[in-house]
Structures are given as C-alpha cells and as structure tokens.
Amino acid sequence: MRLLGGLHYLVLAGDASWDDVGSALELQRGFLARWTREQDVQTNEVQRSWALLPGFLTVADGRPLDLLELGPSAGLNLMWDRYGYRYSTGRWGSGPLELAGNDRVPPPAELLSRRVTVARRRGVDLNPVDVTT
C-alpha cells in the first residue's frame, strides 16, 4: 500500500506514469524507499462498505449496533448506513452516494429488507484525516 501510495503521489505530481511503472521504480528508487519507510497509509475508500453491508445486516438482526473502527482515517466507513447500496438481488439504503459492485454471490433479497440502527460510532486513529482540508 505504501509503495502504491508513493507511485500515486509521483503520478499526480507528473513525475511518473502508470503506463511505465518500471521506469518510475528505477528512476524514483530513493524517493520511493524513503516514502515507504516514512509515510503512513490512509485508506479512505468507502467502497469496502458494499462488501461489508450483508455482514452488518446479519449481525444486527434487529439489534442496535455499536461501531468501533480501528484506523478509520476520515471516518467515512463509520457512516456506512448513510449510503445507498445496489446488488443484483436488490437495493438497501437511500443515501445520495450509491455503492455497487460485482456480486458473484449476491446477498439474499430478504436480507436487504432489514433495517439497522447505529447506537454509537467510535473511531480510533493515531493520525486522523481532517476532512475539511
């Protein structure tokens, strides 16, 4: 993750290209070695919530959930119940952000009819991201 983060940084800066990763690894060796040694990884990708939703619905089963996420970065995955989800067997939620994917083994349609109440949300992160910047 750290190496890919360093490559991504170089691509955004115009100092590397995804079309020629080999050259970037060779030419930017010193920078990438330092980056992977010193840079923390922040994963603020909410798409993983799409894969987790069926598990949350199964575990909750009508009971309120207390959420605790270790390393939540900006806390975006702590808000999973505020997103919309689309599976081949149905939809869940009504948030303005809709998550979808390739559900090779789709969740049962009846599972997607369950509702969840989140009682508490807690995130523990040594280096939280300021979502306002």
Mark whether 54 and 34 lie in a shared domain.
no
Within-domain flag for 120: yes
Within-domain flag for 132: no
Within-domain flag for 43: no
Mark whether 33 and 52 lie in a shared domain.
no
Cβ-count burial of 25 within 10 angstroms (0-12 exposed, 13-18 middle, 19+ buried)? middle
Contact 102, 88 (CB under 8 A): no
Q: pTM for the full model? A: 0.68
Mark whether 34 and 72 lie in a shared domain.
no
Mark whether 68 and 33 lie in a shared domain.
no
Instruction: Give me 35's structure tokens.
Output: 């980056």
Q: Measured between alpha carbons, how far is 36 from 32 in angstroms, rounded to an integer?
A: 6
Contact 93, 82 (CB under 8 A): yes
Within-domain flag for 29: yes
pLDDT of residue 2: 87
Q: Measured between alpha carbons, how far is 49 from 66 in angstroms, rounded to an integer?
A: 16
Mark whether 17 and 61 lie in a shared domain.
no
pLDDT of residue 64: 95
Instruction: Give me 60's structure tokens.
Output: 């909750």
Cβ-count burial of 42 within 10 angstroms (0-12 exposed, 13-18 middle, 19+ buried)? middle
Domains contained in the chain, number = 2
Mark whether 31 and 59 lie in a shared domain.
no
What is the domain range of residue 100?
A: 48-124
pLDDT of residue 75: 80
> Regarding predicted confidence, which is higher, 115 or 70?
115
pLDDT 10s digits, 34-70: 999 998 766 667 888 999 999 999 999 989 999 998 8
Within-domain flag for 106: yes
Query: What confidence category does residue 73 fall into, taking pLDDT thresholds of 50, 70 and 90?
Result: low
